[in-house]
Amino acid sequence: MTDNLFQVEQLVSNLGIQVGNLCQFLPQEKVTDFARMSPQELLENTEKAVCIPLADDCGSPPLQ
């Protein structure tokens, strides 16, 4: 498993993927919506996206 993790980390690094940058994973038309969200909306949509049990609608699409 450690070898697989290392390979994934290498690939992410080589491709320049910024896993800490949520905008990197948004469709371009949603970036503006994301930038306009309040901190509360950001938290709610992040919880929905990663399906944290605290979210009211775990599994519903974020950024509606």
For position 38, what pLDDT does the model report? 92
The answer to whether residue 37 sits within a structural domain is yes
The answer to whether residue 40 sits within a structural domain is yes
User: CA angle, corner 43, sides to 17 and 34, nearest 5?
Assistant: 60
Percent of the chain, pLDDT > 90?
A: 5
What digits encode the pLDDT tens for the residues 41-63? 988 877 777 665 554 555 555 55
Q: For residue 40, what are the domain limits?
A: 2-50
The answer to whether residue 31 sits within a structural domain is yes
Task: Give the count of domains, the chain.
Answer: 1
pLDDT for 37 beyond 80: yes
The answer to whether residue 29 sits within a structural domain is yes
For position 55, what pLDDT does the model report? 45
Listing DSSP states for the chain in one string gives -HHHHHHHHHHHHHHT--TT-GGGGS-HHHHHHHHH--HHHHHHHHHHHHT-TTSTTTTSPS--
What digits encode the pLDDT tens for the residues 11-31? 888 888 777 776 666 677 777
The answer to whether residue 55 sits within a structural domain is no
**64 close to 56: Cβ distance less than 8 angstroms:** no
